[in-house]
Structure 1
């Protein structure tokens, strides 16, 4: 059995890790840490997991905890993962970081967008960006996996076949994305209150959202370019729902390119052929967030607007599963040479 710890286990992402891992046939959860609920039984924090997790929340003692595990999941705010990653690297343990601290290959990008000094830039070269559909072989050989952000997961998976096949102008990409409120975390905030969110839709982080450079970095890599060689527009919106992300991506086809939506759809099917979690929808079938609610699945639909010659792609994921905890487990399965779908192959919940 793989012995794992979840650091930051009482946030929404941590709780989703606990829910999924509690039924993983090859995993034993040996430690759950929390800053707010130390010494409280986990099932008292999340009664929905009563009789599934017999652990008590413990303090975050890096060295003691790391010595007793094979892998650690870090479900922490940015800037807090470095001590854990350093100790895991020192002890030869695997780490899957669900925060932003190891997602960027250039430390200047991280420090500029997150306004935080990176305390271990030497480890960035040891980290692999954990999007299995693109980096599967690298993930298997890694020690530190940087789990992608939720918006970047939806956006990059929607863009990858287009960029890899150089079908669109990389300087004219617009991503309009909507997310459920759970993406804001469990902490009490004015903007997350029911009265603020219910019956309301709002844009936020307009032209400044921190997931923008992450999407640009991976888009540039698909094109064989440096991150600074691509600039795209990304605008997120908050929706009055609990889970889900729907990203609609607008791209200008390369000049003088003659191609049909049917041909592009086949390119997507070929690119993602054999991928266990990706579904390409048929013509005029558009993804909905409800289709993947509670699951690790991704739905991608597309068409070409013949009037504007613009290619439109829509991607739906669950922000807490494929956008966070499910993808982290997918990465853990790769790290330990397990079936990639182990523990996360459940269908979505409907309605």
Structure 2
């Protein structure tokens, strides 16, 4: 065998052995990554089709996936009856989202180009996650809601400061009528009826809209004069009326009879002052829920008996659920998830 042929065979062998070594390292890395993921308790996430339409196969949850990996921050879905099932990720990224009746609102970050500052926008999605409309946002997204019939959307952003716990912040809350395209850029333009009189002040802030089943009105939080109020809004009259003090981030129950909200409790730390309560709209009775930790979130009703909410977790946020009648105890039902909405 010639020297040239022997050298050629040696070169081929080196290349093959190198390829085997690289493959072994890659497989070992994949196994180590999988082991780390399993040890960390991270959920399984894979790309696939996601729909906001009511599915014949049962109810589904859509939410912001917070698990580390290529699908972090994407709108994802799981069966509502099996929230720890493997997740299907849509490829659509949202910082905040909500959906109902085949309509979604997705609050997104927007990367600026050279010399252009990053920004945010509100994107209206149809049932297939196609973009129907988009509106620029004036600040950091914090709350989003779609009305039960899918005809209205609302969102809140921070335009100064970044926490509801203190007093040094400013918000802007907008309401969009998807039937007409009319955008109420700020609820601060609405007339405020407080204690039977028209209230005008420069320190007015609104946040946390939740729509009524008939889609004619809403509830929200009003802050003015250092006090927060639960207000009832009338979309046609463009008015809001205060109902009671110390009620933030309302969420109306599916049957329209109760509101879950967060209430500031005297004596608690200034940075973590809230406890979840439920208000009976007919009687005015307030019920403190069994969750003792401070919840800075707008709760979501999973059904007429249970509310869900986010708390800080290893991946940024985890979802918990607690009975809405004050009984029982809170339980974590989804890891690495935020901003859930129930479909179907």
* Common fold: TM-score over 0.5: no
Of Structure 1 and Structure 2, the greater strand share is in 2
Larger Rg computed on CA atoms: 2
TM-score, with structure 2 as normaliser? 0.28
TM-score, with structure 1 as normaliser? 0.28
